[in-house]
Amino acid sequence: MASSVPRTASVLLARTLGLAVVIGLCAWWSIVYTRGALGFSSLWVGSGVLCGVLLTSPRREWLPYLLGAFAASLVVNILLNGLSQIGIVLSFANTLDAWIVAAAVASRVNDVSDLTQLKSSFVVAIVATLVACTVSGLIASVAGDDSATTPAPFAGLFLTWFASHLLGMGIFATLTIAACVEGLKILGQPGQRVELAATLGLVAVVCWLVFAQSRFAVTFLVFPPLMLCVFRHRFSGFVPATGIVAVIATMQTAAGHGPFMVGEGVSDLQRTLMLQAFIANVSLLAFPIAVAVTERKLLMHRLARREHDYRLLADHSSDLVSHIAAGNQRRYISPSVFEMLGWTREEFAEPRWDLIHPEDLENVLQIFDAVSRTGVGASVECRMQHKHGHYVWMELKVRRVPGEGEGEAPGIVFAGRDITKRREYMVALERQARHDVLTGLGNRLYFNERMDLAIARSSRSGKALALLYLDIDHFKRINDTHGHAVGDAVLREFAVRLLASIRATDFAARLGGDEFVVLVDDIDAPDAPQAIAEKLISSLRNEIVVGQERLSVTTSIGIAEGTVFRGGRDELLQRADAALYEAKLAGRNTWCIKTSNQDS
């Protein structure tokens, strides 16, 4: 991952010089300690280091680093082999392959440090490395090697160079990227650094012992400690461990020791290629294991992170979240159950269908059963009992979820939200739509609904019903004399006395102005409507007090009563209105009744 923070010229110069020193030391080590009989090194470390630095740096800094690396390689070649044209060509080739790999990988991979892109990064990197090492190998092989004691075949020079740079790029570019990105973390997690150091030490000791003797059969002993390091520490173990094996094996072989130095008729070129093949096999064997172990670790981390995120959301959600597994077992209950319903999670964990209001329970069970059978989510509103005894309106969004174990039946997850305030608001809106704002009685809409239902019931049962149609005598005079505020107060008090005069089963409404109606349903006593009228008239004998005003208020009442009203609501209203007119003609402050019969 390239840094996006611009560096000052002095910092860039210091980093360039530091890189040049490292590249110079790597070149010196490779030439002095890993040079084969053909003159080329068996393991070229510098290109890998340069490639790793380029991939972890902004592209605007690449040119100084490339020039610094070229200069360092050239200086080492001059110091060890003298100034020559071939030294310049080899230094150029050493720098070229690092640039080719870095440019190819950077153009395809956004972040080389992202372990989730290991596979895609590896494919791009290996193809780019093969191409780069081929190009630089052809350049170096064509130029030849003046340091070789005997003329070397082109194929031998090319294969030695190609394998040397391929291994150096694969191992040490990875090591450099890890060091640049992770810093001290490359030494392992704080609690595992001693173990990592001990495991790497074991790899080094075993590898040194293997290459200190000449039996080829024991080379496999390098693999157990290497695999242990990879399994225990993943890429933090793979990268340095393979580097240690490569360095020790190359140095020992170049010094004339190790299992690849035995056997008559084996040329120096063959020994070098066998060494490089061994290092390549070590890397190729350990790399996929490191990838698999790392991806497993990443997967476990992502799963743990996802579970943590979901648990965090569920635990801190204001909604009640619950997972009901097969057999009605509650696997999870969010802590919000206490705030919402007063129950602890342990108390709510038992099957508590009894907490649902009896009127809502059947519907809830049907919804849960349907979701469980069909897998189609649904919502249901119900009342759930609070621990303090009252009910809370809940909206439950229900979903089916797979069973946790293999073969386990699906479960149910629901998220419950407290909608008590919303329900109260809806009830208030509904009441406002059906009730008179001034008096609190039903309005015309509500009256029409109740009247139609009452007529239908009367037709089925044969029981009589009655409608009282009444208004306040001379109400306009009250408004004109005392003002509308006093008139409104009179209407409110009239409504109070009207409600006090009727039965609990009767229905009172204000149709508008000073017009009121009372619907008397299921009349058992023949004189029930008249009794209501008399009671109301009697209650108005007491004056209505509004502020300093004391008003004598009377009412005229028309009553329509019967069992058959073929004209429906309109016929009943017309009869009551006609009776009201007769009551007014009779001198007001009285009532008059009109009845219907089977022949009306």
DSSP structure string for 187-248: G--TTTHHHHHHHHHHHHHHHHHHTTS--GGGGGGGHHHHHHHHHHHHHHHHHHHHHHHHHH
527 has catalytic annotation: no
CB 506 within 8 A of CB 532: yes
3 state DSSP class of 320:
strand
In the numeric block, the tokens 């569920």 are attached to 314
The tally of CA atoms less than 13 A away on the side-chain side of residue 40 is 34
Closest CA to 216 of 175, 141, 277: 277
**What distance in Å separates the CA atoms of residue 574 and residue 594, rounded to the nearest whole number?**
10
Query: d(Cα 199, Cα 195) in Å, to the nearest integer?
Result: 6
Longest dimension (CA), the chain: 145
Tokens representing residue 210 in the block: 């293997």
Residue 83: count of CB within 10 angstroms of its CB = 10
Q: Which of 596, 588, 595 is nearest to 557 (CA)?
A: 588
The one catalytic residue in 514, 521, 524, 599 is 514
176 Cβ contact list (under 8 Å, min separation 6): 48, 49, 51, 52, 53, 56
Considering only CA atoms, which of 557, 569, 566 is closest in space to residue 596?
566
**How many angstroms separate the CA atoms of 98 and 301, rounded?**
34
Q: Which residues are catalytic?
A: 514
